[in-house]
Amino acid sequence: MSLVLVDSGGANLGSVQYALQRLGIDAPLVSTAAEIEAAERVILPGVGAAGPAMARLRELDLVGTIRGLRTPLLGVCVGMQILFEASEEGGVDCLGLLPGRVRRLPQAPGVRVPHMGWNRVQPHADSALLAGIDAGAWAYYVHSFAAPVTADCIAASVHGEPFAAVVARGNVAGAQFHPERSAAVGARLLQNFMTWRPE
């Protein structure tokens, strides 16, 4: 099963690669349409902000390629956020593979933004992507913006208000938490993605 990581310019590319290596999965970093289209599975990582991530994809002329994928695609952190139509972060238009707009997490007494650290993940739907991940399992987050809980949300977390932790629609999936820093939960999600057969 061939897997590639899209070179979205994020600082977490090496750590995602290493997390996959620990699972015995080789995932080369690629930056051309031909390499992405030849792969059986694609991960779109990302840290930082939606604007620079989209600018990087435009610079590499990969927006159309990613939009046209029929193979399983997993966005991670900002990589998940740019799967949506738009982000409040810089008012940027995104890939539009999932309906909805990414918004800033609301600040409130006792609720710090950015949301950094461990939080519980609660399943919202049955999905092979969540196989072996118990309700209330802990995952690691670092983010200030989040996607809404919609029909495509298969797991959510709460930080001030609920937000999408894992999403899936067709061949497109995303995780807001960092699998490479989420211990057993992250490893299981990555393993599940490798065998996931979108409906």
Ramachandran area for residue 63 (φ above 0: left; ψ -120 to 50: alpha; else beta): alpha
Tell me the per-residue pLDDT of 116-137, one tens digit each, with 9 for 90 and over.
Answer: 999 999 999 999 999 999 999 9
Mean pLDDT of the chain: 95
Percent of the chain surpassing pLDDT 90: 88
Which residue, 130, 98, 122, is CA-closest to 196? 130
Q: Which homologous superfamily is 3-195 in? A: Class I glutamine amidotransferase (GATase) domain (3.40.50.880)
- The pLDDT, as a whole number, for residue 76 is 95
User: What is the SS3 string spanning 115-132?
Assistant: EEEEEEEEECCCCHHHCC
Q: Determine the Cα–Cα distance for residues 129 and 198; give it in Å rounded to an integer.
A: 10
**Annotated catalytic residue: which of 37, 77, 115, 153?**
77
- The pLDDT, as a whole number, for residue 159 is 97
Across the strands, what pairs with 142?
Answer: 116
Q: Say whether 188 sits in a helix, a strand or coil.
A: helix
How many angstroms separate the Cα of 25 from the Cα of each of 5, 16, 63, 97, 151?
Answer: 12, 11, 26, 26, 31
Give burial (CB, 10 Å; 0-12/13-18/19+) of 74. buried
Which residue, 125, 129, 123, 120, is CA-closest to 172? 129
Tell me the per-residue pLDDT of 101-116, one tens digit each, with 9 for 90 and over.
Answer: 999 999 888 899 999 9
- The pLDDT, as a whole number, for residue 48 is 81
- Specify whether 153 is catalytic: no
- The pLDDT, as a whole number, for residue 199 is 74
Tell me the per-residue pLDDT of 35-93, one tens digit each, with 9 for 90 and over.
Answer: 999 999 999 998 789 999 999 999 999 999 999 999 999 999 999 999 999 999 989 99
User: Strand 115-123 to strand 161-169: parallel, antiparallel, or no bridges (unpaired)?
Assistant: unpaired
* Cα-trace Rg, the chain: 15
pLDDT band at 15 (very low <50, low <70, confident <90, very high): confident
- This prediction's pTM: 0.96
**Annotated catalytic residue: which of 89, 94, 115, 180?**
180
User: Strand 161-169 to strand 137-143: parallel, antiparallel, or no bridges (unpaired)?
Assistant: unpaired
**Annotated catalytic residue: which of 89, 115, 178, 199?**
178
Tokens of 41: 């599975």
- The pLDDT, as a whole number, for residue 30 is 95
- Specify whether 94 is catalytic: no
- Say if residue 9's pLDDT is above 80: no
Q: Are 8 and 79 in contact (CB under 8 A)?
A: yes
- The pLDDT, as a whole number, for residue 11 is 62
Which residue, 86, 104, 4, is CA-closest to 45? 4
Percent of the chain surpassing pLDDT 70: 98
